Amino acid sequence: MAVSRVMFADSFHRARSILWGRFDQELTFQDGKDLFLMGIDMSQFSEQAFNYLRPNTKTTTQNISGSENEIQQLRLFQDFISRPGSGNSLPLRIFLHPAVSGSELAWSAARVDVWFYQMDLLSKEAASINGGREIPKSLKDIPVLYASIWNFYELDSVIKLDKPLDKRPNLFVNSKGPEGAGINPTSHFGIWMYEVSNDAPKGSGAGEDALYEFPELEKDAQQLIDWLCSNHHDFMRLNDFSEALSLLRWLRANNAELTMIEIDEQNRPAAKPDHVILSKGPCVRNR
């Protein structure tokens, strides 16, 4: 018998739901295909952005309809959040995978995506659960907001079995980050940071279709993510979800029977966040 490390039970339950729950075909987990836990409803966002930018743009409602391509939507999003008083204060509709609906993980997934806009509060919250250690200055000073847009993604990982002498075997999920990032192998998330621009921004790498990535900034930001995955509950929940999903996929692939023993009764489902405000975080607006 081998054991993993202790994880948030909520993260484990939601990983199990992802694999064995019943969902529409496009939401059903499939190996080799992307799984999205949370995202901004870009079709509804386009209408909000146009209404705000109408006095300052020549864009028409036809141009920003739901049929516009991804680059056009990203450019609109970037312009929107860069204007003082716009993107940081307006509620943006979000979507969540139904497997995480009603859970604390849903709130963590929504918060993680916007925490970098509130770095001071993020640091204080981390200190409240880790014994008083705020984000180190060297990490807090990383200019993550230099990139207008970012996405978190799950890193490639392997499962290892450690067999120390006279001790129970331990299961580890070890992740490998981008080359040169110096990632902590128990941190399972990386970050893409980019900007939509006609010309290459300073510090960016090669661009394609007006989309420029910041590889060096990503390596620096990876150090911050690694620290947060061990020191802040939202990042820890997402990290535990990734680890649980890896272990459960491995068990399922080997036709292992899963038995779960509930020590405590499941908590009442949490309210589902349906909007996010960049300067404040997720919220519930539609009841």
Whose CA is closest to 29, among 202, 204, 245?
245
Structure tokens at 44: 């509804």
Provide the pLDDT for residue 67: 35
Residue 65 · residue 45 · CB < 8 Å: no
State CA 34 to chain mean position distance: 13
Q: Is the pLDDT of residue 21 over 70?
A: yes
CB atoms within 10 A of CB 25: 6
Whose CA is closest to 116, among 150, 82, 73?
150
Choice among 65-79, 182-196, 265-279 with the minimum mean pLDDT: 65-79
Structure tokens at 174: 């070890």
Q: Is the pLDDT of residue 41 over 50?
A: yes
**pTM of the entire predicted model:** 0.84
From first CA to last CA, the distance across the chain in angstroms is 46
DSSP per-residue codes, 131-142 = TS-PPPHHHHTS
Q: Is the pLDDT of residue 72 over 80?
A: no
d(CA 89, CA 276): 9
Provide the pLDDT for residue 271: 84
Angle, CA of 233, 91 and 139, to the nearest 5°: 40
Q: Is the pLDDT of residue 78 over 90?
A: no
Q: Could you tell me where the beta strands, DSSP code E, fall in the chain?
A: 38-40, 92-96, 149-154, 156-162, 170-176, 189-196, 207-208, 211-213, 275-277, 281-283
Q: Is the pLDDT of residue 44 over 60?
A: yes
Q: What phi-psi label fits residue 32: left (phi over 0), alpha (psi between -120 and 50 degrees) or beta?
A: left
DSSP per-residue codes, 272-286 = PP-EEETTTEEE---
Q: Is the pLDDT of residue 49 over 60?
A: no
Q: What is the pLDDT of residues 190-246, one digit of tens each?
A: 899 988 888 888 888 877 777 889 999 999 999 999 999 999 999 999 999 999 999
Residue 130 · residue 88 · CB < 8 Å: no
| Burial of 9 (C-beta count, 10 Å sphere; 0-12/13-18/19+) | middle
pLDDT band at 60 (very low <50, low <70, confident <90, very high): very low
Q: What is the pLDDT of residues 110-138, one digit of tens each?
A: 999 889 989 999 999 999 999 999 999 99
Mean pLDDT estimate for the chain: 81
Provide the pLDDT for residue 64: 37
The residue ranking higher by pLDDT, 52 or 7, is 7
